[in-house]
Amino acid sequence: MGSKKIVFSGIQPTGDFHIGNYIGAVKRWVAEQDLYDNIFCVVDLHAITIYQDPKILRGKIRQAAGVLLACGIDPQKSLLFVQSHVPAHAELTWILNCVTPMGWLERMTQYKDKSAKQESVSTGLLDYPVLMAADILLYQTHYVPVGEDQKQHIELTRDVAQRFNSLYGETFTLPEGTIPKIGARIMGLDDPSVKMSKSIASDQKHHAVGLLDSPDQVWAVLKRATTDSGKEIVFSDETGKAGVNNLLTIYQALTGQSQTEIENHFQGKLYGALKREVADVIIETLKPIQERYNALMQDKGALDAILHRAAEQAASRAAPTLQKAKEKVGFVV
């Protein structure tokens, strides 16, 4: 692993992973595994910034890890662990909290969106980006592959690192966020004006396709996907064509075909055919993932062993940076 650049990314076990998570993040984590020194994390500390039923959360954490392995994260090539198993994440967060102005956090779009939906907003929700900065900076990360929604948080991570480095001296590598060219923001299938999201999907049946959905469930969502009153099956950034554009983007991300090839393929076809073909491509993509997931979940002990081994390795990789940060701020270590 030595000379390879370090990649870190995380995913919240807040619900069922959907094709937006897959296309925007996980697919790339898997495809680029051989290129980098990879660290992937099921971020359960982030999940509880909004109340989670403890029994459901425990199941979702294992499900999240199982799905990531089933998608192709290879424990021989990548560290895959659960965030709360490595206390250094919470420890570094405290130190970084103390160099992060409140105003930076209050400006975050995700905080504004999520807090508007809560009756009572936890301090954790406001602090979410500092925890994310700690996750990334602990491993001296170079690249953070994420969907577009996380761009602002990566910029904040760089600002926090720069502020710490300038106050206390060079400590943290400045990471770069990498956003996919295709599918950086997959939109809701019921409402293409909003990002496909786990929390909306848990309330609205036809919002998203989950990675563990059966072929019938995939088709039930796709056949109701919002399109428009026109006929043209073309990529477009016009608001009125957002539904068709979203379906074509999913098709493009999953088939790897060019826009011209796809538009030629769908020329003269009806929206019904587009929906059927997008559903078929999704079903084909999910089939091997679901087979591997079902096999993996037969042996939860083996899954837990993978996660605990990786957590030990992650903890020892995080330790020198945490130690350095503690020394820099003046702690007796």
Residues lying near ligand AQP in the complex (CB under 6 A): 11-12, 14, 20-21, 23-25, 146-147, 149-150, 184-186, 195-199
- Cβ proximity to ligand AQP: between 137 and 179 the closer is 179
Tell me whether residue 114 is one of the annotated catalytic residues: yes
Write down the least CB distance from residue 296 to ligand AQP, Å: 20
Nearest to 17 by CA among 203, 215, 201: 201
Q: Which is nearer to ligand AQP, 42 or 296 (CB)?
A: 42
Kindly report the number of other CB atoms within 10 A of residue 226's CB atom.
Answer: 17
Is 195 among the catalytic positions? Answer: yes
Give the residue from 87, 95, 93 showing the smallest Cα distance to 168. Answer: 95
Cβ at position 45, least distance to ligand AQP in Å = 12
258-279 exposure pattern, b = at least 16 Cβ within 10 A, e = fewer: eeeebeeebeeeebeebbebbb
d(CA 317, CA 139): 7
Q: Which residue is nearest to ligand AQP (CB)?
A: 24
Choosing from 114, 151, 324, 328, which is the catalytic residue?
114
C-alpha to C-alpha distance for 227 and 246, rounded to whole angstroms: 9
- The nearest distance, CB 201 to ligand AQP, in angstroms, is 7
Task: Give the tokens for residue 116.
Answer: 């508007």
CB of 294 to ligand AQP, least distance (A): 23
Given 77, 151, 195, 324, the catalytic residue: 195
Q: How far is the CB of 264 from ligand AQP (least distance, A)?
A: 26
Catalytic residue among 27, 198, 241, 275: 198
Nearer to ligand AQP, 286 or 325 (CB): 286
Please work out, in degrees rounded to the nearest 5, the angle formed at the alpha carbon of residue 294 by the alpha carbons of 291 and 299.
135
CB 172 within 8 Å of CB 165: yes
Residue 39 bridge partners (DSSP): 8, 79
**Whose Cβ is closer to ligand AQP: residue 146's or residue 274's?**
146
CB nearer ligand AQP, residue 10 or residue 322: 10
Report, as residue numbers or ranges, the catalytic residues. 114, 195, 198
